[in-house]
């Protein structure tokens, strides 16, 4: 695995592959890699001859109250995992490469960012869209893979790629879960043992709500029941538990098209998010 920190080197290597007819998949990350990231890498290896992983802790997607400095950085450990996973190139851009002096451009995707985590974290998705657009332009991948766990992020990136005619196929990869159903997340590390045991209620409540909505129960009743059930199961509060259009993320009170149940709830020090597809034809 080549570890590259200079843009000119990255371009020369990727262009060389592409000249030889080898297609390229990119997995953008902020490091602190876990099994979920390695699943994206494994899927990328199925989808393209060459796999590039980027690690960049992107300052512009952190809000003023979110601790950028405390974000875990473990480059050597991450590089070892990626080498073992058969990654071809690790792109480690410097902050000055991503945001040189005078940098003044931001990509803002409206609509899909208006609600849910976009409403709770103003500016967050502008930071994500801007850095992902830069990574696409730097690496020029044929494909890029993102986890469905961050479903709103995936919707933002799909919208941006379509709107800006970016020549990259955006692929969503299903969420990786613990044996009991809890979605894998670096935030699970914040959970005490009793909180961890209760946290499974989030994925279970999504499954129960999906089954009830697909069976034709009124959406508002199902959502209200899910929210009170989460609080009874030990969650301190529920930021949102909603049914949305699977593409636009507009809230739905009837399942008349492909939907997505999206949830964010707080337990102990952690704010957990999860989501599940809801099929109108089920």
The residue among 147, 98, 148, 91 whose CA lies nearest residue 127 is 98
Does 202 bind ligand PAF (CB under 6 A)? Our answer is: no
**Residue 28 CB, nearest distance to ligand PAF (Å)?**
4
Task: Tell me the site size for ligand PAF, rule CB under 6 A.
Answer: 10
Distance of CA 184 to the CA centre of its chain: 12
d(CA 68, CA 52): 24
By annotation, the residues acting in catalysis are: 37
- Binding characters for ligand PAF, 229-248, by CB under 6 A (x = yes): --------------------
- Written in H, E and C, the secondary structure of 30-51 is CCCCCHHHHHHHHHHHHHCCEE
Nearest to 176 by CA among 57, 25, 268, 43: 43
Site for ligand PAF in 11-70 (CB under 6 A): 28-30, 58, 61
State the nearest-atom distance from the C-beta of 57 to ligand PAF, in Å.
Answer: 8
CB of 171 to ligand PAF, least distance (A): 13
C-alpha to C-alpha distance for 272 and 129, rounded to whole angstroms: 22
DSSP class per residue in 227-254? HHHHHHTT-SEEEEEEEEETTT--B-SS
Site string (104-143) toward ligand PAF, x via CB under 6 A: ------------------------x--xx-----------
- Work out whether 152 is an interface residue with ligand PAF (CB under 6 A): no
User: Does 171 interact with ligand PAF (rule: CB under 6 A)?
Assistant: no
- Residue numbers of the site for ligand PAF (CB under 6 A)? 28-30, 58, 61, 128, 131-132, 150, 153
């Amino acid at each position: 695995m080549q570890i590259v920190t200079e843009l000119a080197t990255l371009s020369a290597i990727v262009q060389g592959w592409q000249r030889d007819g080898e297609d390229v998949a990119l997995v953008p990350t902020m490091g602190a890699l876990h099994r979920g990231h390695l699943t994206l890498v494994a899927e990328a290896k199925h989808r393209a001859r060459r796999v590039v992983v980027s690690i960049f802790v992107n300052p512009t997607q952190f809000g003023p109250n979110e601790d950028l400095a405390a974000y875990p950085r473990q480059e050597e450990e991450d590089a070892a995992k990626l080498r073992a996973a058969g990654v071809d190139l690790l792109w480690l851009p410097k902050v000055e490469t991503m945001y040189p002096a005078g940098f003044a451009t931001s990509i803002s995707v409206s609509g899909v960012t208006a609600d849910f985590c976009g409403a709770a974290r103003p500016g967050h998705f502008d930071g994500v869209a801007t850095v992902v657009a830069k990574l696409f332009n730097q690496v020029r991948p044929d494909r890029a893979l993102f986890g469905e766990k961050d479903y709103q992020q995936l919707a933002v990136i799909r919208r941006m790629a379509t709107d800006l005619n970016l020549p990259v196929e955006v692929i969503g990869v299903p969420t990786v879960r613990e044996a009991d159903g809890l979605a894998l997340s670096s935030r699970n590390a914040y959970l005490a043992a009793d909180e961890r045991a209760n946290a499974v209620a989030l994925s279970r409540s999504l499954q129960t709500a999906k089954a009830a909505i697909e069976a034709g129960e009124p959406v508002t009743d199902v959502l209200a029941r899910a929210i009170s059930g989460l609080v009874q199961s030990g969650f301190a509060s529920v930021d949102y538990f909603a049914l949305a259009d699977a593409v636009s993320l507009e809230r739905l009170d009837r399942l008349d098209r492909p939907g997505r149940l999206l949830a964010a709830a707080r337990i102990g020090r952690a704010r957990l998010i999860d989501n599940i597809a809801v099929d109108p034809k089920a």
